[in-house]
Homo-oligomer: A and B are copies of this chain.
Amino acid sequence: MSEFINVTVTKAANVYFDGLVTSRTLTFPDGSRKTLGIMQPGEFEFGTGAAEIMEILSGELDVQLPGEEQWRPIQGGESFEVPANARFSVRVHSLTDYCCAFLD
């Protein structure tokens, strides 16, 4: 799926880590939400509210999922899932384009 149809897009960006991570929020007709975002290279820790699926559209990073010690390499075309109310970390090696689906 290369595009999302019939969505509502919040105009203002979501900005994290001084803009090294930014995203746009899309709301679907069924009320579900996704964000489309960009991560610049760097290391970032995130907290989840709802569980989420992070689909990496392009880029290269390592992710450390909640409760794991090891870092898993992830690249464009791959995804990972994070449970609700958890923290995870990423080491972004090259500009990363992602789609985050919230599993409310």
A62 interface contact, C-beta 8 A = no
- Scoring A residues 1 to 32 as 1 if CB is less than 8 Å from chain B, else 0, what string do you get? 11111111111110100110010101000000
Q: A18-B95, A19-B38, A19-B95 are in contact. Are A6 and B6 (CB under 8 A)?
A: yes
Number of identical protomers? 2
Main secondary structure on chain A at its contact with chain B?
Answer: strand
A40 to B58, CA, bound (A): 19
A53 interface contact, C-beta 8 A = no
Please determine whether B13 and A3 come into contact, CB atoms closer than 8 angstroms: no
**Residues of B close to A10: CB separation below 8 A:** 2-3
Chain B's nearest CB lies how many Å from the CB of A91? 16
A8 to B6, CA, bound (A): 6
Chain B's nearest CB lies how many Å from the CB of A98? 9
